[in-house]
Structure formats: structure tokens, C-alpha cells
Structure 1
Amino acid sequence: MTTIDLNTLPKPQVIQEIDYEAIVERQKQTFLGKWAAKRVLYPDLPMYSVEDLLTDPFTIDNEAESTREMILRAEINDVFRATLLYFARGGNLDHLAAQNDVVRLPGELDDRLLTRVLLAITGRSTGGPKERYQYLAMTADLRVEWAEPYRIGRSPVIYVAIFSTEVDGVASPDLLTKVRAALNAAGAQLVNDTIIVQAAVRKVANLAADIWLLPDADEATVARAEANLRSAWEIEQKLGRDLVTAWWVSRLMISGVHKVTPTSTADETAQPTEAISIGTVALTLKGRAY
């Protein structure tokens, strides 16, 4: 089954969105054309020659109306886009989700709800695609950040690795119990499938690097650099996400750090059912330099 990446599609438009300066110039030329036409009928009318003055009444009115038109065009397109799944947010997304028999969980944010709607749509096949099990797992509890179903060989046993919003992504026993109940409920699985729900494999990566500070940086900068790395990984950590050396070195380069040279240089790779956690971070202060 092919899943369309909605993020790659161009933004749809009901009405053309015109650049502000283009609207101003269009209105100006229309006004000057009408003024010239009136001078044909009324030769005593003076030439209009103050259109470039910021205090000119027409210039002020033209800029105000051009801004209004630009905003109105954008609002028309935004209202239309809100009827489309990828662009809908808040109540609009709730209604589109309901059309696919998906209801927002208490406290669920828009991005997660959108993910569940897409999983529900792609998981409708009677062949039992993995998106079906991912949808059911994420619907079982808000703490399920992601689920990865997989088989070993041709076995009818389906393993479902759960990545949680809990500490280090490790699913607690009560969360696994809830997901297990949801996936084994009547109508949730194919007749021949046996489902085993388990926490995602936690792979610990110990990091090491030499670090140099700028001359005016205090030594607490080293601890702040490590804290910045750990907090950044909490956001990025996901099932199957590799911990690349270039990435974690860049997160150590905070204000006050001159240079970081990793001494553990191998990228930490993760299988689709693994989540990498950062273990020890050994930063050796080598001195100061510009």
C-alpha cells in the first residue's frame, strides 16, 4: 500500500494570492487611467502628479485597500484549506477525523490526531496492513508515541514494539496491558494472527568527546552542553532513529564552546523496533582557544 506524503503536495488555491506591491501598482494604474479619461471630458482638470507622495490621499487609501485585498485573498484560501485533512486544525480537524470514524483523545494534539487519521485510512485493508495495528495501538492510550509491528520470517506471530512518551521511551507494564487488550479485541486482528505486544528495545549509547571552551566561558559550560544534548535527544528520539555523530556533536556546540572532537566516532544505528537512549556523556575539557 502506498501512502501519499501530503507534505509534498503544493498548497491548493481557490483564489490567486497576489503580491502586495503588484496590487498597489494595479490599483494605481487603474486610478491614473480613469483620471486621464476624465481629463478628456474635462480638459480643465489638472494633471495628477502627486501619486508618489506618502501624504497623498490616494496613496494612503490605495495602500490600505491593497493590504485589505491581500489579507482577504489569503483568508479565502485558508478557509478552503481548512476543509482538507493536512491543513485542518482544531475543530475542523475533529470533523474531518469523525468522517473517518476517528475521535480525538482527551489532551491529544493536532499532529498526533492527524497521524491517527492517516493510519486509520491506510489501515482499512482487509489484508491487515501494519497501519491497522499502529492505529489501534495509538488509540489505546495517549502515551503511545509510535508502534512498530513486525514478523520474524513467515511466522503468523506479529510482534508490536511500543515506543512510549514515558522515560526513555520505555512503555510501562500497565501501558502494554492496555495496548495488548486493544490489539486482541474482537475484530481488531486477522483470525490467524497471534499478537505479542512488548516495549521497544532500548539501546544505550555511551558518548565521549574532547571539548575546548572560549577563554571567557566558565567551566559550567561543559555541563550545560551535555544538558542541551540530552534535552535535544528527548525531542528527536524515536523508534528506528539513528544517533549520528555529527548530530550530537552539533548539539554540544553551545555558546562558550570553541570546539568539540568526538572520541567515540561511530554512528549508533537503530533497527525499526529499537529506540536509542543516551547513557554516559564523557566530555574531557582540553583547554581554551579562539
Structure 2
Amino acid sequence: MVDLKTLPEPEFITVDWNQQYAEIVKSYEQIVGIPLSKGQVESLMIATFAYRENLLRIAINDTAKQNLLAYARGGMLDHLGVLLGVTRLPAAAAITTLRFTFETALTSPLLIPKGTKVMSKDNKVIFATSEDVNAGTGIAYIDVPASCTEAGESGNGYLAGDINQLIDPLPYVQTVENITLTYGGADIESDDHLRMRIQIAPESFSTAGPEGAYEYWAKTAHQDIVDVAVWSPEPGKVKVVPLLKGGGIPDADMLAIVKNILNSEKRRVLTDQVIVEAPVVVNYSIDVQLYIYTSFSMLSDVILAKANDNLQSYRDSVKEHLGVDIVPEQIVEILQKITGVYRAVVSQPVYTTLARNEVAICTGITITIAGSVDG
């Protein structure tokens, strides 16, 4: 797959105020037959006209670039997606499991209707049951799936027991609380994620089950899926490993969502057995010593801050891709680009190759100034 970021930026029409100004001045001088000085009123008016023309040229360039996948955004990106049958994923609500505990074992069946609302203890979000559930006699509690009443990320991250205020009264219910971490809430699909799916969408047209098709449909399962590894360990078996944004590891529920998407008879080759697994985490830490030029000694704090920012960017990039090797030389290269750094010595990590189903997660960054040199 072509990395869109490596493509040269197109210029459909030249954007250069100086050129526009010079051309208009030349035309004016040819018409009136006398040279024009910059202090004249006409020169100031021409400068304004050139500025307005330059703005128009910028708008023309931007409009033209909206027809290209690498630069399209918003509604224009949606239109490009429609050409390949790809639509933007809507915002998704966070989900969890609510446990309704009764005062005593039920002596008669009790209906917990769909839409029964329970509020978080911080009074910020409300979850509602996703289906009608009949609690039979003799049971002390029952677990019911529920989703946040508001789509988006606001419902994510509530620990077990945080959703515990019953809004809609129910007889015999003593307590209610979530027994799983709330997760899965997502804002409407971002341009970058949609652009990635549009680029690989043609892979989904095949009925032979290529790697790209499984990758496309897996990324369609949820907006948080940023990378997918697909391979066949043996004939008839396909392994799919999804990775969530920020290096998140999908839980059993998220893996089930992906598996359900892939197991559709219109998407999976009949002879394929699809196995969806979570990535394997490979932890590493970064420990580096910097030697700076003596002339930059007074700026050591600035250099440390820049080094820390660069390494955090490196860490964040690596953890959102599967199978990316840990290469100390890449860390050295990042640090050597900082003005004032003479030499970077990496104590950790060591060179480590990762399998396609592994993700490298940085557990800590330590940077020290080891000394200064004249260079």
C-alpha cells in the first residue's frame, strides 16, 4: 500500500504573490507606456489586486486537492468514499454489562425492560439496557448488556461499580452496577481513519479472501482499530489481530465484534476458519545519555525538553503499528537531529525484532545529559 504522506504535494496553479504583482505591473506599464514606481497609488492598488488574486489561487489549489485522497477532508472525503462504497462510521456508544441484584431470590419472573436507565456515580453519563431480559424465579441477580445513551468517548473508562444509580425504579432490585469496564465509545470516524479505509477498500472487492480484504473489514468493525495483522498459519485458517489506537489491546468483546464482521458469508471464504486474537505486547524502555556541545550548555533544559518530545512522538507512533521492530539506531537518529546534540548513546532498548502480531509498548523514557564536548 502506498504511503500517501510520501507523495509530492501537487500544485495545480502557481501561488506566488511576487510573480502575480510583477506580471500586473508589467501589463500596466505596457498599457500606459511609462514605468511605475512603488510609491504611486496605482502600485498600491496593483499590490492589492495581486493579493486578492493570490488568495483566489490558493483557494483554487485547495479545491483541486480536495479531489485527491491524500488531501480531501470532511464532506469531500465522504464523496470520494462513496465511489468505492465506503461510508464514514458513525459515532458509537460505550457498552458494559450491568448486574441487577435482587433483595431476595425471586419468587416470580421479573421483566427488566429494554431502556432501563442507570446513571454513573459522578452523574455524568447514563447507560440503558440494550434488550428486554426476563429474570426467572430463584435467582439472586441477573446480568444485562447496556450501552451509553450518548454516543462518543464520554462513556468510556468507567470502572466496575461506577455505574450504580438506578433511574428507572424496578421492584425487588436492591442494587445495580456495571461489572465490566465501559469501553467502545467512539466519536464519528476521523478523516485519517476514513482515508485509510478508502485506500484499502478495493481489496474488499475480491471474493478470494486476500489479506487486504480481511484488513479492510476488520477496520470497519470499529473506529478505534488503527492496525490489523492478517496471515494464514496453515491452509484453511486465517488469523486476524486488531490493534486499537494508542496501543490499546482489544478485550474479548471487541474481538467478538471483529469476528462477527469477518464471519459474514459475503466476506469470508467458506473454507476459511477465522481466528481473531489480541496482539502480544512487547514492553521496552528508553534510556539515553546525551552529550551536547559546550556552547549549548546553557540550553541543556531546552535540549532535554526537545529530546523528550521527540521520543514521546516516536513512542506514540510505534505503539499504533503491529510488527514494528525496536531499532536503537532510529532513536539515535531522532536525537542527533536536535540542535546542540553532539552524540546520543542508547542504553535501552536493545534491537528487537517483532512478529506481525506483536506491538511494542514503551514503559518509560529516561534522558540524561552525560557531558559536554567542544566537538
TM-score of the alignment, normalized to the shorter chain, above 0.5: yes
In structure 2, stretches of 5+ residues that fail to align are 92-187
Would you tell me which structure has more helix in proportion to its own residues? 1
CA distance in 1, matches of 2:324, 2:27: 57
Question: What is the aligned counterpart of 1:248 among 323, 331, 338?
Answer: 331
Q: Which residue of 2 aligns with 1:160?
A: 240
Q: Which residue of 2 aligns with 1:45?
A: none
CA distance in 2, matches of 1:273, 1:32: 69
Q: Which residue of 1 aligns with 2:28?
A: 31
- Contact 1:157-1:194 at 8 Å conserved across structures: yes
Would you tell me which structure has more strand in proportion to its own residues? 2
Greater shift in the superposed pair: 170-179 or 66-75: 66-75
CA distance in 1, matches of 2:300, 2:17: 49
Distance verdict in 2 for CA 1:233–1:62, change over 3 Å:
same
- Contact 1:216-1:256 at 8 Å conserved across structures: no
Question: In the TM superposition, what is the alpha-carbon distance from 1:216 to its structure 2 partner?
Answer: 6.6
SS of 2:14 mapped into structure 1? coil
CA deviations over 1:197-221 (Å, ceiling 9, x no partner): 00122122244445669877999x9
Q: Which residue of 2 aligns with 1:8?
A: 7
Aligned positions of 1:114-193 closer than 5 A: 114-152=195-233, 154-165=234-245, 168-193=247-272
SS of 2:241 mapped into structure 1? strand
Q: Which residue of 2 aligns with 1:197?
A: 276
1:272 and 2:356 correspond: yes
Q: Which residue of 1 aligns with 2:130?
A: none
Question: In the TM superposition, what is the alpha-carbon distance from 1:103 to its structure 2 partner?
Answer: 1.7
CA distance in 2, matches of 1:68, 1:224: 39
Distance verdict in 2 for CA 1:18–1:120, change over 3 Å:
closer
Q: Which residue of 2 aligns with 1:262?
A: 346
Question: In the TM superposition, what is the alpha-carbon distance from 1:18 to its structure 2 partner?
Answer: 5.0
Distance verdict in 2 for CA 1:162–1:18, change over 3 Å:
closer
- Contact 2:287-2:365 at 8 Å conserved across structures: yes
CA distance in 2, matches of 1:193, 1:118: 25
Q: Which residue of 2 aligns with 1:103?
A: 87
Give aligned pairs, total. Answer: 269
- Contact 2:324-2:360 at 8 Å conserved across structures: yes
What is the TM-score when the length of structure 2 is the normalising length? 0.61
CA distance in 1, matches of 2:342, 2:25: 55
Question: What is the aligned counterpart of 2:73 among 89, 92, 108?
Answer: 89
Distance verdict in 2 for CA 1:29–1:244, change over 3 Å:
same
CA distance in 1, matches of 2:56, 2:299: 51
Greater shift in the superposed pair: 229-238 or 100-109: 229-238
User: In structure 2, what residue type is equivalent to 1:233?
Assistant: R
CA distance in 1, matches of 2:312, 2:207: 42
CA distance in 2, matches of 1:11, 1:288: 45
Question: What is the aligned counterpart of 1:112 among 193, 197, 202?
Answer: 193
In structure 1, stretches of 5+ residues that fail to align are 37-47
Q: Which residue of 2 aligns with 1:40?
A: none
Give the alignment's Cα RMSD to 1 decimal: 3.4
User: In structure 2, what residue type is equivalent to 1:8?
Assistant: L
What is the TM-score when the length of structure 1 is the normalising length? 0.77
- Contact 1:211-1:261 at 8 Å conserved across structures: yes
- Contact 2:289-2:370 at 8 Å conserved across structures: no
CA distance in 2, matches of 1:58, 1:116: 53
CA deviations over 1:125-181 (Å, ceiling 9, x no partner): 2222211111111111122111111012x5210001111125x43222211111111
